Structure formats: structure tokens, C-alpha cells
């Protein structure tokens, strides 16, 4: 008959699916997870809205035969959306949306107006 060999014990630094690590403090783990979720959500919102902002500015640059002020108007609309993006990110984190940081949303709009007017 064959000699049964005992199962080899895994090294401690490797993950063992049959014996997961116990969670020491579930409340702090949930708190850390929700914090990461807020950061991911705000990053997604800001990048998505800033893609819209950049699209409006590019549309203003390549506008064929525009009416007077149409290009600047599109850049101003883009600036409003930029400010909305920053405000939404603040609200996701539970902060007041009115802040001096809203001026960051106007930066792409200012660059667009500079490109159009030069």
C-alpha cells in the first residue's frame, strides 16, 4: 500500500483560499471602502464632464462661419460645465459646493478663449 503523505503546509506569506484572514475591524474596513468609492466616483464624474468641456471648446475652435460671439459663447458654456464638475465632486465628498476651487473649472474655458482670440 501507499504511504499517505501529509498535506504540505502553505507558507504564511501566500494567500490560502481555504483559510481567509479574519477581518479585525469591520467598521473601519467599510469606512475605508466607502472612502475609496467616493474618490473613484468623483474622479469619474470630473473626467466625464471635462471631456464634455473639451468637446465644447474644440467645437468652438472648428466652428465654420460662426455668428458673432458664438465661439466665446461655447467657451463660456464649457466654463459653466467645468464649474459644475468641480461642484459635483465636492458634493460627492460631502462638502459645500461653493468654494474658491470652482475657479479651476474655468481654466479650460479661459484657455479656449485665448486660443480663439489670438
How do residues 28-75 score in pLDDT, each as one tens digit? 877 888 999 999 999 999 999 999 999 999 999 999 888 989 999 999
What the block records as the C-alpha cell of 107 is: 481654466
Nearest to 109 by CA among 50, 65, 67, 68: 50
Q: What is the pLDDT of residue 109?
A: 95
What the block records as the C-alpha cell of 70 is: 458664438
Q: What is the pLDDT of residue 44?
A: 97
pLDDT band at 1 (very low <50, low <70, confident <90, very high): low
| Total residues found in the chain within this entry | 118
Q: Provide the 10 A C-beta neighbour count for residue 36.
A: 9
**Do 74 and 108 form a contact (C-beta atoms < 8 A)?**
no
Q: What is the pLDDT of residue 10?
A: 66
> pTM to 2 decimals?
0.74
**101 secondary structure, DSSP code:** G
Q: What is the mean pLDDT of residues 73-85?
A: 97
**Cα distances (angstroms) measured from residue 109 to each of 54, 93, 113:** 9, 25, 6
**Reduced to 3 states, what is the DSSP secondary structure of residue 59?**
helix
Q: What is the pLDDT of residue 101?
A: 94
**Do 77 and 113 form a contact (C-beta atoms < 8 A)?**
no
Q: What is the pLDDT of residue 7?
A: 74
Q: What is the pLDDT of residue 6?
A: 77
Q: What is the pLDDT of residue 105?
A: 94
Amino acid at each position: 500500500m501507499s504511504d499517505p503523505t501529509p498535506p504540505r503546509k502553505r507558507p504564511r506569506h501566500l494567500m490560502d483560499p481555504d483559510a481567509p484572514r479574519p477581518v479585525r475591524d469591520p467598521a473601519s474596513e467599510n469606512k475605508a471602502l466607502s472612502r475609496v468609492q467616493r474618490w473613484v466616483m468623483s474622479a469619474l464624474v470630473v473626467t466625464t464632464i471635462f471631456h464634455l468641456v473639451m468637446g465644447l471648446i474644440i467645437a468652438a475652435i472648428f466652428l465654420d462661419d460662426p455668428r458673432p460671439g458664438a465661439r466665446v459663447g461655447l467657451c463660456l458654456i464649457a466654463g459653466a460645465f467645468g464649474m459644475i464638475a468641480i461642484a459635483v465632486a465636492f458634493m460627492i465628498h460631502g462638502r459645500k459646493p461653493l468654494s474658491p476651487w470652482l475657479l479651476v473649472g474655468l481654466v479650460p474655458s479661459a484657455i479656449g478663449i485665448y486660443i480663439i482670440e489670438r
